[in-house]
Structure 1
Amino acid sequence: MAMMPRKEMLPGSQSKEAEFTVKELLNIPLLKEARLLAGNKGVQKAIKRVNVMEVPDVISWVRPGEFLMTTGYPFRDEPERLQQLVPELAKRGVAAFGIMKKRYSDELPPEVVAEAEKHGLPLLELPSDIVFSDLVRIVMERVLAQETSQLADLQNRIQSMTRLLLEGSGLYSFLDAMEDMLDNPVAVVRENDKPWLSKSLRSAEPTEVWPLLQSLTFRQVGRGSSNGFMLLQNSYRVYASQIPTRRMKQACLVLVERNRDILPIDVLSVDRLSSLAGLELANVEAVREVEGKYLDQFLQDWLSGKIVSEADWKLRADVCGCAIPEGTPMCALLVGWQTPEPSEKLREIARRLRSERLRSVDGLLAAPIGDDLALVLPIGHLSQAGADREEACSQLIGRLLSELRSLLGERELKLFSGRIVERSDGLQGSWAQAKRARQVAEVCRLPGEIVSYDRLGVYSLLYLIPSGEEREQFLNRFSAPLLQADRKGGGRLVETLEMFFRCNGNIKLTSERLYAHYNTIVYRLEKVQSILGVSLDDPEDRLQLHLALKLGQITPGSSG
């Protein structure tokens, strides 16, 4: 799986957060006589507070980012406890550990120094004449000055994003501005919806973006209700912040660590701006709900043939945000369910399919039509012609079916498709063909999870036979006598004959499928032959009987 490369920043182009580090601590005039005994690789750690330790049991009181100081008094009689304390301090995230020089011990044990070096904990030897309160005051002044600067920067960020939101530029402009501000891509990820991406992710090559998009789902980044860092499957680290939503699907604002490391002030910015993203998301939801109602009605009118002119189609397509360009070849699909779905659920599924980012097809439209769910499948990217094009379209529908089953959690879904049309005004015919394919497949029990109108074969001809004298004569000759015998208690003759044909003339298999004795099936088939005056060993008679049964199941169609 391809992974989107992490960009390298040019020297000096990375925005460095203002921090008071251990290295800067050593430059304080009050510590000009101090020595760094160990932990040189940790001198860039940020100091956020100061703590003075004069009791041995201090480990439960320390906090990450602290500069911990001691006179050494708690360890004057048990220096080995100091060696045990160092790994615990490093584990707790202490920024640096300072011990006063020759106050209660002449020299620090070398084991303590080695332990500090091993864990990268800066170990400072403080001058013996230093006053802790003076050092605490100086350090905290520096820390507070840095925090004040960060708070001012955070306030400026929030104000600039608020102004942008009030201008009504939209969610994508909001995310693009966040990317410029944080120097990393951002996204809004919502439950059962495709993500909104900032500009660098939208403009990237699909082969680069797709692995990241596979992980940018609410199932991956929206786990739990708390904010925090997480590592995606493609090795990208992200910070996710829950977006406050009311009467909407759950969502979160995600910062992707692609260009540079995520800084603490970036985390604060994402947490604060998630509320603004929630306001814009509510606006998007309101617009989408209105557009969705218009789009549902547009698709219903389009598929039912109520849009009669091309100009009318263009106008309504623009108003509804129809994503299919004019002149794109397309076909209509009907979704077949194992059990019928209520109309409200069909509307929700249609809205979800229109908002999902599907791998198999781009620009899929969906709408409920009565008790059915209709799909409009654009296939303009298929360059083949003739039979090759039909086969490519069939493969595309197969991929779409697999994705729909996974997305909707319905393993028994089927798709019924009409013919490909080149013009928008031909879609009505394609939808009618899809419905015919479903009806014929159900009454004739056609196998397969995808039924195309063009592949119905003889069944499509039977469907088109209109009501008339010839049709009735044919049914009266081969079908009506068996139905009449069954009504009089003739012994399930029609059912037995249908199963006999379905089992390819295998009597033993027919008896097993009907849970009847072998001799019972033989008796019923002999009675069929006697009533109709035919022989099931004659291929011509078997063909006539089979066609009569299928024709009797199909509602008479129209030659038009």
Structure 2
Amino acid sequence: MTTPVRHTAADDPPGRMTVSGLLETSVLAGSDILAGSDGLTREVARFNVMEVPDIERWTRPGEFLLTAGYAIRHSPDRLTSVIEALHTRGVAGIGIKLGRYIDTVPPASLETAERLGFPVVSLPSGVSFDDILTEGSIDLVNRHVHTMNQADVLQRRLVDVVLAGGGLPAVTEALAHELNVAALVTTPDGRQITAAGAPEKLDVVRSSPALDDTGRLRTESLDGALGAHPVPADSEDASLSAAIVGVRAGDTDHGRLAAFATGRTLGREDLFALDRAASVCALVTTRDLAVSAVEDKYQADFVRDLTVGRAGSAEQTIAHARDFGWDFDRPLMVVVVEPDPGALDDDTSSTRRPLVERQAGAIAGALAHRDSGAAVVALSTETVIILGAETRERSEAKINDLVRTVRGRGGGGRKPFSVGMSRSCDSPAEIPTAYSQAATAVRVGRQVAGGESVTHFDALGVYRLLSLVEDQAELESFARETLRELADDTDEARDLRRTLDLLLATNINVAETARTLHFHYNTLRYRLAKLERVLGPFTTKPGLRLDLSLALKILAMRGLRR
């Protein structure tokens, strides 16, 4: 039984042809939908003719397939598996001319098509495939021309925004208005640079899987991938569609431009328009980078002078910093951020800005609403941050929160880094000392805790003193002579070192150490005796206990292995 054609093409975007729109053309006006009417909104991008048995492998997404059934004339039931394969490959639908080679479509095939929402259409008997291909292709060309014209208009309007002095926020706002979408511009790994659009649209995007809980576009997953695709929303009433393109200038990847729409599906014509808009974004980014490069150089030179005490008096420093928008007339602290070893080694691509610059940009963006008067400067191998100081606890909480935001969940190809924090200083004249403290904290913190460490200078304890010893061989020799066989890189040595460390931390309190290690009291007494046979009577010699404690810290800090 056939179902009358239901014309809903009036709702289609002008630049896109759907199956419904195709069936409205004069040449197909007498068609009947046999099954899969739920798929009438599938986009038709091209046509193909099925006259070979293995047509599935030759199809492409968006094709509308025409057939007289010749390839399945001896086995019509095979149409069921063909429909499943075509649906999987993203084919828009299939039009069958009945009566020539097959008289009816098998019921099983229609049931499968209905279940999949894959349109199966009975073509008018008096219409040739040439007529369909000709009229359909002309319609597609006209729609593509319309798409190009609309994209040209959009590009001209965005260029006008730039010529009027607008930056990325103004361009993004204009784009969101013209396309009626929520729009985001992000870094290559998805950190937001700017966002625009109606608040309710942005709320849907923020609650969708397209963004992680730090607000980063998931560029490493389908939800944030290039192209046009649906995105699950947090409500059944809020269908979300995404179209994402790259923002590139020559060979340099500056980031992503993403558009999100609710209640309609973004498609090829939207991607075409976004590509034009992305070229404008790349123009703005290149302009801004060229302008900021000069200012960045002055800022970097000033901070270098500041860290070595050559920036002038406190009054001069405060005034100079104010010219850059920095507030140094308050208690300050210095934070040093360094990429972890190896992060720079595999970041030699010429298509991206240098790693330290990218990390500094991400930090500056995340810090802007936390401390608008802070300085964030990228030097050759590190990012230096000078910001307002609070109590140690509150300062550490602020920096840890900042680090969590910048790292996100580690997706999008972002590189690991470690952080060192200084003590508070009351005057810009103390910044050289604070910078030295932060640099020591990041270096020693990484030695002790490994990569991606976040360390305050006051948390270093005795490690601060050990870090001042330049002769590392002497430190290693002292540790090995003191710990003897416990310095070996074996499971038994590591186990005994842990026991020794806890004994020293509890001032040789055997009962407390046994409880911490979940050992029986007699088991720990046995271990204690074994440790004294190897190391000497440290339970009765405070000096030996001090040597052992220092040796354990040297081993932890230097990561000695043999």
Instruction: Select which of 193, 197, 219 maps to 2:194.
Output: 197
Task: Find out whether 1:375 has 2:385 as its counterpart.
Answer: yes
Taking the TM superposition and a 5 Å limit, the aligned residue runs for 1:109-188 are 109-188=106-185
Judged with a 3 Å threshold, the aligned counterparts in structure 2 of structure 1 residues 219 and 334 are, in CA distance, closer, same or farther, namely same
Judged with a 3 Å threshold, the aligned counterparts in structure 2 of structure 1 residues 369 and 252 are, in CA distance, closer, same or farther, namely closer
Partner of 1:317: 322
Contact 1:54-1:73 at 8 Å conserved across structures: yes
How far does residue 22 in structure 1 lie from its aligned partner after superposition?
2.8
Q: Which moved more, 1:263-272 or 1:100-109?
A: 100-109
In 2: Cα distance, 1:305 partner to 1:325 partner: 19
Contact 1:37-1:124 at 8 Å conserved across structures: yes
Partner of 2:294: 290
Instruction: Select which of 349, 352, 356 maps to 2:359.
Output: 352
Task: Find out whether 1:275 has 2:274 as its counterpart.
Answer: no
How far does residue 196 in structure 1 lie from its aligned partner after superposition?
1.7
In 1: Cα distance, 2:379 partner to 2:109 partner: 77
Instruction: Select which of 254, 257, 267 maps to 2:257.
Output: 254
Taking the TM superposition and a 5 Å limit, the aligned residue runs for 1:484-523 are 517-518=536-537
| TM-score for the superposition, normalised by structure 2 | 0.61
The DSSP-based 3-state class of the residue aligned with 1:186 is strand
Partner of 1:474: none
User: Which letter maps to 1:228?
Assistant: G
Judged with a 3 Å threshold, the aligned counterparts in structure 2 of structure 1 residues 431 and 366 are, in CA distance, closer, same or farther, namely farther
Partner of 1:84: 81
What do residues 369-394 of structure 1 show as CA deviations (whole Å, max 9, x unaligned)? 99997532225xx7xxxxxx564345
Contact 1:47-1:95 at 8 Å conserved across structures: yes
In 2: Cα distance, 1:98 partner to 1:337 partner: 58
Instruction: Select which of 396, 399, 405 maps to 2:398.
Output: 396
Please report the RMSD computed on the Cα atoms of aligned residues, expressed in angstroms.
5.6
Judged with a 3 Å threshold, the aligned counterparts in structure 2 of structure 1 residues 76 and 428 are, in CA distance, closer, same or farther, namely same
What do residues 154-208 of structure 1 show as CA deviations (whole Å, max 9, x unaligned)? 2222333334444442233222222223333333333589532133499979x96
Taking the TM superposition and a 5 Å limit, the aligned residue runs for 1:414-433 are 414-419=420-425, 421=426, 426-429=427-430, 432=433
Partner of 2:375: 365
How far does residue 255 in structure 1 lie from its aligned partner after superposition?
0.8
How far does residue 15 in structure 1 lie from its aligned partner after superposition?
9.1
What do residues 40-82 of structure 1 show as CA deviations (whole Å, max 9, x unaligned)? 2122223333333334343333333333223334433332233
Unpaired segments ≥5 residues, structure 2: 1-10, 235-239, 345-353, 465-477, 483-503, 509-526, 547-562
What do residues 293-340 of structure 1 show as CA deviations (whole Å, max 9, x unaligned)? 21123335556374547587446523x3x3x4576553345779999x
Q: Which moved more, 1:351-360 or 1:151-160?
A: 351-360
User: Which letter maps to 2:51?
Assistant: E
In 2: Cα distance, 1:21 partner to 1:77 partner: 32
Contact 2:360-2:378 at 8 Å conserved across structures: no
In 2: Cα distance, 1:86 partner to 1:337 partner: 52
Contact 2:318-2:327 at 8 Å conserved across structures: no
Judged with a 3 Å threshold, the aligned counterparts in structure 2 of structure 1 residues 85 and 352 are, in CA distance, closer, same or farther, namely closer
In 2: Cα distance, 1:164 partner to 1:369 partner: 33
How far does residue 145 in structure 1 lie from its aligned partner after superposition?
2.0
How far does residue 264 in structure 1 lie from its aligned partner after superposition?
1.6
Task: Find out whether 1:228 has 2:224 as its counterpart.
Answer: no
How far does residue 17 in structure 1 lie from its aligned partner after superposition?
4.3
Contact 2:94-2:119 at 8 Å conserved across structures: yes
Partner of 2:497: none
Contact 2:438-2:456 at 8 Å conserved across structures: no
Contact 1:189-1:196 at 8 Å conserved across structures: yes
In 2: Cα distance, 1:169 partner to 1:375 partner: 28
The DSSP-based 3-state class of the residue aligned with 1:241 is strand
User: Which letter maps to 2:398?
Assistant: L
Q: Which moved more, 1:365-374 or 1:115-124?
A: 365-374
How far does residue 417 in structure 1 lie from its aligned partner after superposition?
0.8
In 2: Cα distance, 1:27 partner to 1:233 partner: 31
What do residues 143-162 of structure 1 show as CA deviations (whole Å, max 9, x unaligned)? 22222212221222233333
In 2: Cα distance, 1:254 partner to 1:114 partner: 41
The DSSP-based 3-state class of the residue aligned with 1:176 is helix
The DSSP-based 3-state class of the residue aligned with 2:95 is strand
In 1: Cα distance, 2:151 partner to 2:16 partner: 14
The DSSP-based 3-state class of the residue aligned with 1:60 is helix
In 1: Cα distance, 2:338 partner to 2:70 partner: 80
User: Which letter maps to 1:53?
Assistant: M
